[in-house]
Amino acid sequence: MIRRSPQEWQQLIDAQEASDMTIAQFCHRHHITQSTFYLQRKKRQGLSLPQTTSQWLPIDTMASHQPDTRQWQIELTLPNGVVLNMSTDG
């Protein structure tokens, strides 16, 4: 197995995008498994995302100065069987 630097992976990803080959053809030619190629491409995409400011507002900005009297309840059942309950009840 050949160990490649992040720069080498980026060059391979760029080369595939510039080529007329499918990812399968490119990986076969360069002796790379498709799963590794996709993983490395995903890693590189995560690194190349522009840094943006958060779109979330602080809770104190969203909080009303008047108490909210509405009642709500949420139950979330996760695939592993864990159940998360949230409500306005104490």
Q: 10-residue block means of pLDDT along the chain (90 residues)?
A: 88 94 95 94 73 62 62 86 80
Q: What is the pLDDT of residue 70?
A: 78
Q: What is the pLDDT of residue 34?
A: 95
Q: What is the pLDDT of residue 19?
A: 94
Contact 26, 40 (CB under 8 A): no
* Spatial distance between the Cα atoms of 20 and 57, rounded to a whole number of angstroms: 45
- DSSP three-state, residue 84: strand
Quote the pTM value.
0.50
Q: What is the pLDDT of residue 81?
A: 85
